């Protein structure tokens, strides 16, 4: 097979696009698609300071490399942030690999210890704090990324959620009727008082393409899975979507476009409940309860540690 652009020997074939590319033109194709998503959803404006949330996994590292490339021509700056969640060897390895990439690219970065904010995820597991551990971890990540983004004067917070992640959340919303959540689920979330605007520049990028991109660019990433990860049910939904994609290439893009153009506006109109948030009584961060979830988890860990 030959590259669609230069007719040299192709290294990659993308079934959904019925197109083959050499390494160099796949990289260009990949980066151009991210750029188009950024423009389509007006994710980044001139002069923005974008915090890039990097876990050390393939998606967020692919995101970092693309945004670093685009920042050279699109007039915005980036700051990479990695949270050390305090999950034994897994966190050590993730931070080490993230750092290696930061140094390779020469980008500004911060490593933030969850432990400095009062607890680690290993403690959440050890003391059996009530709630799903991945849910608590997600809360901690959102809380810290938002706080650090504000402290750094950032105007946007970018995460590595890809097309498959996005569709899985939509399907989950349909299956369980979480329409209130879907009303807020979109490739961009606006900034609100106390909350930095969130963007998902890889939202039109299939997961497998991120993997190919990291290989093509020689990016070292963490392969190890988080020991607490319970991905079984989300993986089932991803597999179901992938089955449809295999039978009818392009299904994922069609599902994505139908959602953003037709379904989301209707759900939003019917279920969106204003954006007014209170201030947490303990830490002052935005929340819809009196005390935010992060502070409640922290108190539970401290109580059990002291007991
Ligand atoms: P996950 O919820 O683990 O699927 O991660 C979703 C996104 O959150 C990733 O693509 C990253 O952008 C961000 N993220 C996850 N873990 C971390 C971390 N430890 N530090 C910084 N960002 C993270
Ligand atoms: Fe958060 Fe696994 S990465 S619980
Ligand atoms: Zn080519
Ligand atoms: Zn709080």
Q: What structural domains and CATH numbers belong to the chain? A: 27-278 (3.40.50.620)
Looking at residue 273, its pLDDT comes to: 82
Residue with CA at minimum distance from ligand 1 atom 10: 160
Longest distance between any two alpha carbons in the chain, whole Å: 69
Closest ligand to the CA of 290: 4
Q: For the chain, how big is the Rg over CA atoms in Å?
A: 20
Residue with CA at minimum distance from ligand 1 atom 18: 55
Confidence tier at 231 by pLDDT (50, 70, 90): low
Reported as a single tens digit per residue, the pLDDT across 257-275 is 999 999 999 999 999 887 6
Given a cut of 90, whether residue 305 has pLDDT beyond it is no
Q: 138 CA to middle of ligand 2, Å?
A: 7
**DSSP assignment string, 190-242:** --BTTB-EEE-TTTTS-HHHHHHHHHHHT-----SPPTT---HHHHHHHHHHH
134 lines ligand 2 (CB under 6 A): yes
Looking at residue 186, its pLDDT comes to: 98
Looking at residue 255, its pLDDT comes to: 97
Atom of ligand 2 nearest to the CA of 55: 3
SS3 140: helix
- Under 8 Å between Cβ of 164 and 241: yes
Q: 22 CA to middle of ligand 1, Å?
A: 30
- Under 8 Å between Cβ of 127 and 307: no
- Under 8 Å between Cβ of 43 and 51: no
* Dihedral in degrees, nearest 10, Cα atoms 120, 126, 127, 133: 70
Half-sphere exposure of 202 (CA within 13 A, CB side): 29
């Amino acid at each position: 097979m030959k590259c669609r652009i230069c007719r040299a020997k192709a290294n990659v074939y993308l079934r959904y696009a019925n197109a083959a590319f050499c390494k160099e033109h796949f990289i260009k194709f990949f980066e151009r698609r991210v750029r188009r998503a950024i423009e389509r959803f007006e994710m980044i404006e001139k002069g923005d300071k974008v915090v890039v949330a990097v876990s050390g996994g393939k998606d967020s590292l692919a995101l970092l490399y693309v945004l670093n490339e685009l920042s050279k021509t699109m007039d915005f700056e980036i700051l990479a942030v990695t949270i050390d969640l305090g999950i034994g060897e897994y966190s050590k390895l993730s931070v080490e690999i993230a750092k290696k990439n930061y140094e390779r690219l020469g980008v500004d970065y911060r490593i933030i210890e969850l432990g400095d904010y009062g607890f680690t995820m290993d403690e959440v597991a050890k003391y059996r704090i009530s709630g799903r551990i991945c849910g608590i971890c997600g809360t901690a990540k959102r809380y810290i990324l938002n706080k650090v983004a504000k402290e750094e004067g950032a105007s946007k917070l970018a995460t590595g959620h890809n097309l498959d992640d996005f569709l899985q959340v939509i399907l989950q919303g349909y299956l369980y009727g979480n329409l209130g959540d879907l009303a807020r689920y979109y490739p961009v979330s606006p900034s609100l008082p106390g909350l930095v605007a969130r963007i998902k520049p890889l939202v039109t990028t299939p997961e497998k393409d991120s993997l190919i991109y990291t290989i093509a660019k020689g990016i070292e990433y963490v392969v190890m899975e988080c020991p607490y990860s319970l991905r079984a049910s989300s993986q089932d939904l991803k597999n179901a979507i992938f089955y449809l994609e295999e039978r009818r290439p392009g299904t994922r893009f069609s599902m994505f476009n139908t959602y953003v153009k037709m379904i989301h506006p209707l759900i939003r109109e019917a279920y969106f409940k204003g954006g007014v948030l209170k201030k947490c009584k303990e830490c002052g961060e935005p929340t819809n309860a009196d005390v935010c979830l992060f502070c409640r988890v922290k108190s539970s860990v401290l109580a059990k540690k002291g007991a």
